[in-house]
Amino acid sequence: MIAWGIPEIRIKGKGLRAKARTPLPFILHPSPLCLSLLLILMAASWHQVQYWKNNMTLFQHTLDVTYDNPIARTHLGMAMDNRGHSDEAIHHYREALQTDPDNLEAHNNLGIVLMKQGRTEEAATHWARVLQINPGYAPAHINMGLALARQDRMTQAIRHYSGALQLEPDNILAHKNLGFVLAKLQKYDEAVIHLQKALQIKPDQADIHNILASIHNSIATDLAKQGKTDEAIRHYSEALRSDPGYAETYYNMGVTLTLQGKRTEAIRYYYKALAMAPDDPGIHNNLGVALLNSGELEEAVAHFQKALEKDPDYAEADGNLKRAYRVLEKMNKAVTDIREKIRLDPGNPDLLYELGNLHRRHGQVNEAIAQYQKALSVQPESARVLNSLAVMHAVRGEYDNALSLLKKMAKLQPDNSDVSYSIACIFARQKKTETSVEWLKKAVEQGYENWKILKTDENLENIRSTSYYKELIRSVKRVHDGDGIMREIRE
């Protein structure tokens, strides 16, 4: 098997580029939370605006009758802001404050319009004035929190959001914005509490689901970096539950599963990531690496080519493609040489088996099956051919064919624990849990002791929840043998 490099986990950004032959370290590219997009301002008298937004004539008529009416000015300012006329809104709010300098709604909403224009410090002066007049005015606390967060004064921002929640414990915006700021500070546990509270109050909030996905993705990435892949996968799964459309999580899940040796599952997640970001050259490249590690050479080449089509300057993809071509060239030469030998000795089962193995190593399943079947026709009881042919049928999902071949092997080699283990895997794939467990028990009784594979084998996924499997894993302990090498044994 070619030792292609392991791709890196990422959170955001361009595709990470895996190099061949040298396993890469994790290099994290965290995506800072964009507070300017995520944090939300709270307008005063919002319900009135919703009700009156189409009644600007009424507001204007009120001003014609009572020119200095600050309430009418404030509502007209809000209506203008809702229509995108920010300068007119500012004019009306300032006029309202000329008449009533302590008007809380006018100060608060003027701050909002100024903030939208990027005038953060000026906006903050109006919210500070509101809180001088009335420290219990929750919208001003929320908006001041946003202004402070934009200035990276996170501790003070948290204080204002917490103040808003003391006044209004079920305020969605306060919970949401506080959650975003805590996430920015990587205080993920606290952030999740407030974001989930906001979802309890109002479930259908896509932005919260997205940020929860980002949080779980970040936690999982840190865990994966530490080698805690099981915990990482749990958080990636949480991320996908929060936001099934989060492409980076599918990608990172693929990388982590690759580290666990679950190649088939990993490739499935890479494809899901690619379905959401089909033009991402990094995903194409790293999927190519995964496919190469699984021996699917021609498909891997196609993805390297796609990566270069999207980014012609992508050096790593170019290097991977060139290496893949060299491997393909060697394979084609090897196939040609073996075929010539078979032409001279057509009934040689060893040559037929060797040709099947060559096709198998490079992901050419149909060609491998054809050669194994020819070899089996010459040597019907060859254990190695039966096993290899069973594996190829299993790869194609032809489990009954695979079982038929493996059971024939079991009759020929009744004490072979590897055969019993393989049969257990096939039944597990078919979700025939009880039968799978029986064959796994038999394998262990026959002396099967590759505990590392047993713990990580994706073929056994459907029986991991059984009491026998759990007890079996619990019974395995790590010990040093006489040479000081760490081994796993069953108690």
The tens digit of pLDDT for each residue in 151-163 reads: 889 899 999 999 9
Would you state the CATH architecture of domain 348-490?
Alpha Horseshoe (1.25)
Q: Does 32 have pLDDT greater than 80?
A: no
Nearest-5° Cα angle at 165, 163 to 170: 165
Choose the weakest-confidence range: 145-149, 185-189, 257-261, 352-356.
Answer: 257-261
Check residue 168 and give left, alpha or beta (phi > 0: left; psi -120 to 50: alpha).
Answer: beta
The residue with greater pLDDT, 5 or 402, is 402
CA atoms within 13 A on the CB side of 319: 12
What's the confidence (pLDDT) of residue 3?
31
Q: 195 by DSSP, 3-state: which?
A: helix
Please choose, from the candidates 217, 256, 180, 210, the residue with its C-alpha nearest in 3D space to the C-alpha of residue 11.
217
- Across 241-269, average pLDDT: 81
- Across 24-28, average pLDDT: 22
Q: Which residue ranges does the chain devote to CATH 1.25.40.10?
A: 35-203, 348-490
Q: 66 by DSSP, 3-state: which?
A: coil
What's the confidence (pLDDT) of residue 163?
92
Choose the weakest-confidence range: 233-242, 259-268, 290-299, 355-364.
Answer: 233-242
Kindly state the tokens that stand for 412.
């020929």
What's the confidence (pLDDT) of residue 26?
22
What's the confidence (pLDDT) of residue 411?
92
Q: 423 by DSSP, 3-state: which?
A: helix
Beta-bridge partners for 20: 4
* Rounded-to-integer distance, Cα 203 and Cα 355, Å: 58
* Rounded-to-integer distance, Cα 309 and Cα 314, Å: 9
Structural contact between residues 355 and 341, judged by C-beta atoms closer than 8 angstroms: no
- Reported confidence tier of residue 100, pLDDT bands at 50, 70, 90: confident
* Rounded-to-integer distance, Cα 476 and Cα 451, Å: 7
What's the confidence (pLDDT) of residue 183?
84
- Reported confidence tier of residue 223, pLDDT bands at 50, 70, 90: confident
Cα distances (angstroms) measured from residue 332 to each of 2, 277, 353, 379, 420: 16, 33, 16, 26, 35
- Across 336-360, average pLDDT: 92
Q: Does 368 have pLDDT greater than 60?
A: yes
Structural contact between residues 255 and 7, judged by C-beta atoms closer than 8 angstroms: yes
What's the confidence (pLDDT) of residue 286?
84
Q: Does 265 have pLDDT greater than 60?
A: yes
The residue with greater pLDDT, 328 or 302, is 302
Helices 247-259 and 281-293 pack at an angle, to 10 degrees, of 20
Mean pLDDT of the chain: 79
Q: Does 44 have pLDDT greater than 60?
A: no
Which of 13-22, 336-345, 356-365: highest mean pLDDT? 336-345
Q: 4 by DSSP, 3-state: which?
A: strand
Kindly state the tokens that stand for 453.
């594979």
Kindly state the tokens that stand for 383.
């254990």
- Across 105-124, average pLDDT: 85
Q: Does 258 have pLDDT greater than 60?
A: yes
**What confidence tens digit (pLDDT) does each residue in 118-129 have?**
888 888 888 888
Q: What residues contact 232, with CB distance under 8 A and at least 6 apart?
A: 220, 221, 223, 224, 256
Q: Does 64 have pLDDT greater than 70?
A: no
Choose the weakest-confidence range: 55-64, 166-175, 243-252, 299-308.
Answer: 55-64
**What confidence tens digit (pLDDT) does each residue in 74-84 have?**
777 777 767 77
- Reported confidence tier of residue 453, pLDDT bands at 50, 70, 90: confident
Please choose, from the candidates 472, 5, 27, 488, the residue with its C-alpha nearest in 3D space to the C-alpha of residue 224.
27
The residue with greater pLDDT, 223 or 18, is 223
Q: 83 by DSSP, 3-state: which?
A: coil
* Rounded-to-integer distance, Cα 258 and Cα 465, Å: 22
- Reported confidence tier of residue 486, pLDDT bands at 50, 70, 90: very low
- Across 138-144, average pLDDT: 88
Which residue has tokens 């459309």? Answer: 245
- Across 276-293, average pLDDT: 87
Q: Does 132 have pLDDT greater than 60?
A: yes
* Rounded-to-integer distance, Cα 86 and Cα 16, Å: 42
Q: What are phi and psi of 487, to 5 degrees?
A: -130, 160
Structural contact between residues 407 and 435, judged by C-beta atoms closer than 8 angstroms: no
Please choose, from the candidates 423, 431, 437, 488, the residue with its C-alpha nearest in 3D space to the C-alpha of residue 467.
437
Would you say how long the chain is, in residues?
491
The residue with greater pLDDT, 360 or 481, is 360
What's the confidence (pLDDT) of residue 118?
83
- Across 427-435, average pLDDT: 92
Q: Does 482 have pLDDT greater than 50?
A: no
What's the confidence (pLDDT) of residue 232?
77
Q: Does 359 have pLDDT greater than 90?
A: no
What's the confidence (pLDDT) of residue 420?
92
C-alpha R_g of the chain = 32
Structural contact between residues 28 and 42, judged by C-beta atoms closer than 8 angstroms: no
Helices (H), 260-395: 263-276, 281-293, 297-310, 315-344, 349-361, 365-378, 383-395
Q: Residue 207: which H helix or E strand, with range? A: helix 206-225
**CATH domain 35-203 topology:** 1.25.40
The one-letter code for the residue type at 46 is W
Q: What are phi and psi of 479, to 5 degrees?
A: -140, 160
- Reported confidence tier of residue 484, pLDDT bands at 50, 70, 90: very low
Decide: pTM greater than 0.85: no
Q: Does 91 have pLDDT greater than 70?
A: yes
Structural contact between residues 2 and 292, judged by C-beta atoms closer than 8 angstroms: yes
What's the confidence (pLDDT) of residue 90?
83
* Rounded-to-integer distance, Cα 241 and Cα 146, Å: 28
